[in-house]
């Protein structure tokens, strides 16, 4: 065994989504985030296109993010579905979070790699990121509001139309007990074809 598998199993199985309402005031430091994102870079990538791009929002940068997110929610949501409470919650959640990362995919022009594989590579990067955050004892939350999947959102974040936004990652220390979760056991999801 090259690594301590029991620790790795524990890390993978105990990684949990933790929401901004549960975060303490403790600020996530930039050097920690650098390590977290650097592990993202080591995800598999077909053709080594390395399609992941990160926009990190900390400190005052979060003000721009909140503005953009609120603007997008307002412009994309039909008036009949608009909820003031949801609109205000966008800002509230960003205010409660010291570090956020917009997770995006940069499409390599003229690549033969299907778009789906570029999205998959960024998703693999996301898992490295979430696991590294968990190793630091940080809670993380992958949020994917519908308005981030729009052309308007790409324009707002100065992205090309062939690129994609996968979501917004929130990071923070939890004030609550580390949550527990459950999964369907392996036998429900696996077919063994073995001779």
Residues lying near ligand FMN in the complex (CB under 6 A) are found at: 16-17, 142-144, 167, 181
Q: Report the SS3 class of residue 55.
A: strand
Residue 68, CA distances (Å) to 19, 63, 127, 153, 191 in order: 20, 9, 25, 8, 45
Distances from the Cα of 55 to the Cα of 21, 39, 119, 138, angstroms: 22, 16, 16, 19
Task: Tell me the closest approach of the beta carbon of residue 94 to ligand FMN, in angstroms.
Answer: 14
Residue facing ligand FMN at closest CB distance: 17
- Kindly state the helix (H) or strand (E) to which residue 169 belongs, with its residue range: strand 164-172
Least CB distance to ligand FMN at residue 107 (A): 18
Q: Least distance (Å) from ligand FMN to the CB of residue 130?
A: 8
Closer Cβ to ligand FMN, 57 or 170, answer by number: 170
Residue 133: phi and psi, rounded to 5, are -60, -45
Nearest in space to 65 (alpha carbons), one of 33, 34, 97 = 97
Query: In angstroms, what is the minimal distance from the CB of 134 to ligand FMN?
Result: 10
Between 181 and 193, CB nearer to ligand FMN: 181
Q: Considering beta carbons, is residue 22 or 50 the nearer one to ligand FMN?
A: 22
Indicate the residue among 159 and 168 with the shorter CB distance to ligand FMN: 168
């Amino acid at each position: 065994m090259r690594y301590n598998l029991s620790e790795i199993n524990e890390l993978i199985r105990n990684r949990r989504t933790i929401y901004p309402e549960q975060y303490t005031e403790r600020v996530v430091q930039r050097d920690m985030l650098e390590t977290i994102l650097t592990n993202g870079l080591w995800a598999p990538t077909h053709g080594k296109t390395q399609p992941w791009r990160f926009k990190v929002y900390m400190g005052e940068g979060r003000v721009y993010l909140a503005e953009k997110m609120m603007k997008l929610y307002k412009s994309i949501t039909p008036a009949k579905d608009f909820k003031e409470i949801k609109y205000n919650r966008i800002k509230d959640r960003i205010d409660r979070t010291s570090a956020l990362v917009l997770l995006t995919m940069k499409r390599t022009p003229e690549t033969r790699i299907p778009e789906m594989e570029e999205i998959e590579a960024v998703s693999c990067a996301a898992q490295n990121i979430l696991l590294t955050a968990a190793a630091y004892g940080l809670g993380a939350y992958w949020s994917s509001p519908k308005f981030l999947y729009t052309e308007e959102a790409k324009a707002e974040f100065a992205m090309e139309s062939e690129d994609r936004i996968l979501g917004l990652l929130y990071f923070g220390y939890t004030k609550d007990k580390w949550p527990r979760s459950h999964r369907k056991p392996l036998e429900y999801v696996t077919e063994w074809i073995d001779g």
